[in-house]
Amino acid sequence: MLSTLILTTLILLLKKTIKVHIPDWLSLDIKEINFDNASITKDSKRDDENGITTYIYTLENSNAIPKDENKPGPTYYRPHLLFLAKSHQKTGEKKTLLNNTGDLYNWYYSLVQQLKDDPETIKEKTLSIIKDSQTEEDKIKAIYYWVQDNIRYIAFEDGIAGFKPDEAQNVYRKKYGDCKGMANLTKQMLKIAGFDARLTWIGTKRIAYDYSLPTIAVDNHMICTVINGDKKYYLDSTEKYNPLNYSAERIQNKQVLIEDGDSYILDKIPLYESTQNLETFVGDFIIEKEELIGKISREYKGESKSHFLYSINNLKTDKREQILEWYIKRDDNNLSIANIDVTDITDRDGDLSLKYNINQKNAVSAFEDELYIDIDYYKEYKNLNLDKRSIDYMFPYKIFEKTAINLEIPTDYKIKELPKDLKIKNDDFEIIFSYKTDGKKIKYEKTIHFKNAKISANAIDAWKGFHYNLKEQYQKQIILTKGK
């Protein structure tokens, strides 16, 4: 049956009426969510002859849902009804449906028990995957990474296939599967390797609910959990470049339902700090013939690294140098790149570094005895205009970016003007610009920090004000003049 009903739409509504007919033989709770800022009235009427109670919801003067990108899931902000079917007595005998979390788990687990996994068909491959592993964690990692690398993720949402995993041998044979099939293959391989591996249901951050609500609307994803002594490993094989011991932003701090035979375990995915996603850009520049000539060193950690690896490895070419040059230049012919050096772009575990030499033609302008220098090439978030935004703006992960650029002051030049420092900080973001000099070099530093992976609706006004200052800051130039 329908578990949720969103009341608002992508078009303006003058009036919309929803009628929910509940027969006496059905025990159904209706939760009214996000009604506070909507004009919704509720009425009811009784049909004693047919034994039906009807609830009537009327929505009036509802604005169209904005077609914003990077928005949270609809259950966070759109008014909707959540239906909780507890039990029914249609045939006279009371039959429990989803009265509590245990009932939800029992239904999920009944689907798992229908599987006819054949471990023998994947045993030889599993043993070959772990044959060189020295420790238990090495074995877990080897299997996890093999599934990430060799099984293509394709979502299935049709009928019972949206809830029931595919058998491990089928996923292995086809080399593709949905999250449930990939989780089951991961589980079965780990069991062959001697681990306590279990299927685990979870709702990603697109869903506002947790397992206190017994409904199939509470989750939309499946992973595999390994219980090894006191430690749990949460393995999401659909996250192609996530390392072991790290979970993607979309499932961090989300409640999980772990299979435990006839029982179940409730737990939470760890929440990671934004500092683990640090991305750094360090540049050393000189000015030569109205060009910035420099050496760049960039490093990526956590999800900044995962996103880099995903972007690079998904481009359909084996010409790595061209791929990396495109990533750096973004088709800007004012940049010339040489001597690109990058660490292994298939390695999930180590930090990733990218080094190269750069010539930038359009960054220095000479007028009479003065040089005007545009020292910041990328100008991150300059175009993040939220002037018409009313709901949260979501980032793919917690952003933490640091830029440090050293510019050597040319002989016979001195500083005429440095831009002023800028700093803004609130609960969602912190952005700092600073300029320093020792007379020989100028050091430009920038920190951009979106520590909650979002700009909340209540912080958007603050962002609007700051965004104006940010654009102004990016337009400011360093001015050098001849003379000592």
Contact assessment for residue 214 and residue 268, using Cβ atoms and an 8 Å cutoff: no
| 312 and 423 belong to one structural domain | yes
- Encoded amino acid at 167, one letter: E
| 294 and 349 belong to one structural domain | yes
**What's the token pair of residue 238?**
């659909």
Contact assessment for residue 291 and residue 364, using Cβ atoms and an 8 Å cutoff: yes
Task: Please calculate the CA angle 115-209-144 and round it to the nearest 5 degrees.
Answer: 45
According to DSSP, the β-strands at 278-288 and 263-268 are unpaired
| 239 and 335 belong to one structural domain | no
What are the tens digits of pLDDT across the range 384-406?
Answer: 999 989 999 999 999 999 999 99
Residue 134 within a domain:
yes
| 117 and 70 belong to one structural domain | no
**What's the token pair of residue 428?**
């969602």
User: Helices in 151-280 by DSSP H: which ranges?
Assistant: 168-174, 179-192
Domain that holds residue 358: 274-482
Looking at residues 141-145, what average pLDDT do you find? 98
- In the predicted structure, residue 321 carries a pLDDT above the cut 80: no
**What's the token pair of residue 422?**
């800028």
What CATH number has the domain bearing residue 144?
Answer: 3.10.620.30
Closest CA to 222 of 274, 271, 193, 257: 257
| CB-count burial class (<10 Å; 0-12, 13-18, 19+) for 353 | middle
- Encoded amino acid at 344, one letter: D
| 445 and 314 belong to one structural domain | yes
Residue 254 within a domain:
yes
What are the tens digits of pLDDT across the range 328-358?
Answer: 887 788 899 999 999 988 888 988 999 999 9
Cβ-based neighbour number of residue 232 at 10 Å = 19
| 361 and 463 belong to one structural domain | yes
Domain final residue, candidates 268, 285, 320: 268
Write 311-316 long-range contacts (CB < 8 A, 24+): 312/345, 313/241, 313/345, 313/346
Looking at residues 274-296, what average pLDDT do you find? 95
Domain final residue, candidates 58, 92, 126: 92
Residue 173 within a domain:
yes
E strands within 242-290? 255-260, 263-268, 278-288
Phi-psi region of 382 (alpha: psi -120 to 50; beta: other; left: phi over 0): alpha
Domain final residue, candidates 92, 112, 147: 92
How much is the pLDDT for 66?
Answer: 86
How much is the pLDDT for 160?
Answer: 78
How much is the pLDDT for 484?
Answer: 66
pLDDT above 90: percentage of residues in the chain: 85
Tell me the C-alpha to C-alpha distance, in Å, between residue 134 and each of 138, 140, 472: 6, 11, 55
First to last CA, the chain: 80
User: What b-and-e string marks burial along 85-105, b requiring 16 or more CB atoms within 10 Å of the CB?
Assistant: beebeeeeeeeebbeebeebb
| 278 and 381 belong to one structural domain | yes
| 81 and 130 belong to one structural domain | no
| 408 and 280 belong to one structural domain | yes
Residue 21 within a domain:
yes
Residue 152 within a domain:
yes
Residues 178, 173: Cα–Cα separation, whole Å:
14
Number of domains in the chain: 3
Looking at residues 24-46, what average pLDDT do you find? 95
Tell me the C-alpha to C-alpha distance, in Å, between residue 327 and each of 285, 294, 315, 322, 352: 20, 17, 11, 9, 15
Closest CA to 180 of 211, 158, 205, 195: 158
**What's the token pair of residue 243?**
């390392």
| 87 and 108 belong to one structural domain | no
| 202 and 314 belong to one structural domain | no
What is the three-class DSSP state of 137?
helix
What CATH number has the domain bearing residue 389?
Answer: 2.60.120.1130
How much is the pLDDT for 323?
Answer: 82
- In the predicted structure, residue 317 carries a pLDDT above the cut 70: no
Question: Cα Rg for the chain, rounded, in angstroms?
Answer: 28
What are the tens digits of pLDDT across the range 56-82?
Answer: 999 999 999 888 999 999 999 999 999
Residue 62 within a domain:
yes
Residues 484, 440: Cα–Cα separation, whole Å:
11
What are the tens digits of pLDDT across the range 133-142?
Answer: 999 999 999 9
Average model confidence (pLDDT) across the chain = 94
What are the tens digits of pLDDT across the range 97-119?
Answer: 999 999 999 999 999 999 999 99
How much is the pLDDT for 313?
Answer: 82
Band (322; pLDDT cuts 50, 70, 90): confident
Residue 375 within a domain:
yes
Tell me the C-alpha to C-alpha distance, in Å, between residue 182 and each of 152, 167, 268, 346: 9, 9, 21, 20
What is the three-class DSSP state of 311?
helix
Closest CA to 188 of 117, 259, 110: 117
How much is the pLDDT for 318?
Answer: 67
**What's the token pair of residue 182?**
């990939």
| 422 and 300 belong to one structural domain | yes
In DSSP terms, which residues pair with 342 in a beta bridge? 354
Tell me the C-alpha to C-alpha distance, in Å, between residue 224 and each of 27, 104, 144, 291: 34, 18, 10, 53
What are the tens digits of pLDDT across the range 193-246?
Answer: 999 999 999 999 999 999 999 999 999 999 999 999 999 999 999 999 999 999
Residue 97 within a domain:
no
Q: Which residue has the tokens 């509504």?
A: 13
How much is the pLDDT for 326?
Answer: 83
Looking at residues 176-204, what average pLDDT do you find? 97
Contacts (Cβ under 8 Å, ≥6 apart) of 426: 459, 462
Closest CA to 306 of 247, 256, 254, 234: 247
Contacts (Cβ under 8 Å, ≥6 apart) of 60: 13, 14, 15, 16, 39, 40, 41
- In the predicted structure, residue 1 carries a pLDDT above the cut 70: no
